[in-house]
Amino acid sequence: MNKRILAVALAVFAAGGVMAQANDTIAKVKASGVVTMGVRDSSGALSYTLGDGKYAGFHYEVCQRILANLEKAAGRKLDIKYQSVTSQNRIPLVQNGTVDIECGSTTNNATRQKDVAFAFTTFVEEVRIAVKANSGITSLNQLNGKSVATTTGTTSVQLLRKHERAANVDFKEIFGKDHSDSFLLLESGRAEAFVMDGQILAGNIATAKNPADFRIVGETISVEPIAIMLRKDDPAFKKLADDTIRDLIRTGEMSKMYDKWFVQPIPPKNTRVGLPASEATKAAWANPNDKPVEDYMKK
C-alpha cells in the first residue's frame, strides 16, 4: 500500500512539474531549444508577411530583441518557429502553449488580462474609419444604412457602436477573416467603410493597388494600448520582456525602430505608412506600463 501511495505521489509531483514548466517559458525553451513566435499576416506595420514564411514589422522586431535576451536567459541558441495567428485564435494559442509570445496587434484590455499577460505597451492605437476617397463619407453619422467591414475577433465595431456620435446610426456589419480580407471588402465595394486600428488601415492603404483611392476619415473611435502578448502566470518571462522594452526605450532604439516601420519606406514595395509616433504612444514610452484600455478610457 505504501509503495502505491508513493507511486501516486511521484506521478502527481511529476505532472505538477510538467504543468509548471508549461507556464515557465524560460525553462520550457531551455529544455526544448525551440521558441514559437505568433505573427500576423496583415497587421499593418506591426506584423505582416513577406511571403515564403518570412515576416516583418515593428512588433516582429521588438519580439526579436526579446527572444535574443531569452536565449541569454536559457543559456543556449534557440530555434525560432513562426506561427501565423488570427484575431480569433491568438489568445487560445498563447494559453495552450502553441505560441510562446504573440507579436501582432492585440489590444490590452481587462477581459483579456484574465486569460493572458501583456508586456509593456509599445504602441497606442487610434481606431478610425477607412473609406474610398470618392465616397463622400467623412464622419461616423454618415455610416447610417452603410455596410461596415471589420475583422472577426476584434473589438472595433463594438467600440463604434458605443461611440456617442454613432448613436442612432444603423449599419450592417460584414466580417473579414483577417485584416487583408476586411480591406478587400472595402476595395471591392462590398463594404463602404472599414473600421479598424489606424495603423492597420494605413498599412493596407499603403500597399493597395491605388493608395490614392482610399482615405482615413472621421472621429477617433477609441484610443487603445497595443502590446505583445505572453502566457499568464509566468513572471520571469514577463520581466524579461518588460526589461527588454524598457531598455529599448531608454537607449532610444524604440523610437528608431518605430520610425523605421511607420515613417520610412518598408518592404516589400518600399511604401510609407506615414504615421509618426502619437503623443499617446510617446507617453506610454515615457512611463512604461501594462495598463489595459479601460484605464485609457477613464481620461
* pLDDT tens, position by position, 5-34: 544 444 444 444 444 455 899 999 999 999
Mean pLDDT across the stretch 191-195? 97
> pLDDT category, 153, cuts 50, 70, 90?
confident
Instruction: Could you list the beta-strand ranges (E) of 10-100.
Output: 34-39, 42-43, 47-51, 54-56, 79-84
> pLDDT category, 296, cuts 50, 70, 90?
confident
Question: Number of helices (H) and strands (E), helices first, in the chain?
Answer: 12, 13
Domains of the chain plus CATH, in order, are: 20-122+227-297 (3.40.190.10), 126-224 (3.40.190.10)
Q: Are 83 and 93 in contact (CB under 8 A)?
A: yes
Q: Are 291 and 108 in contact (CB under 8 A)?
A: yes
Instruction: Give the three cell numbers for residue 73.
Output: 536567459
pLDDT value at 298 more than 90: no
> pLDDT category, 4, cuts 50, 70, 90?
low
The tens digit of pLDDT for each residue in 235-251 reads 999 999 999 999 999 99
What are the respective helix, strand and coil percentages of the chain, to the nearest 5? Answer: 45, 25, 35
Instruction: Give the three cell numbers for residue 268.
Output: 516589400
Per the model's pLDDT, the better-predicted residue between 278 and 122 turns out to be: 122
Backbone torsions φ then ψ of 218, nearest 5 degrees: 80, 180
Dihedral angle of Cα 147, 152, 153, 159, to the nearest 10 degrees: -10
Query: What's the whole-model pTM score?
Result: 0.79
Instruction: Give the three cell numbers for residue 78.
Output: 534557440
Report the alpha-carbon distance of residue 191 to residue 147 in Å, rounded: 5
b (16+ CB within 10 A) / e for 52-82? eeebbbbbbbbbebbbeebeebbeeebebeb
At 67 the pLDDT is 98
At 23 the pLDDT is 80
The tens digit of pLDDT for each residue in 69-116 reads 999 999 999 999 999 999 999 999 999 999 999 999 999 999 999 999
Cα diameter, the chain: 81
The tens digit of pLDDT for each residue in 272-283 reads 888 899 888 999
> pLDDT category, 66, cuts 50, 70, 90?
very high
Instruction: Please give the mean pLDDT across all residues of the chain.
Output: 90
Count of positions (residues) in the chain: 299
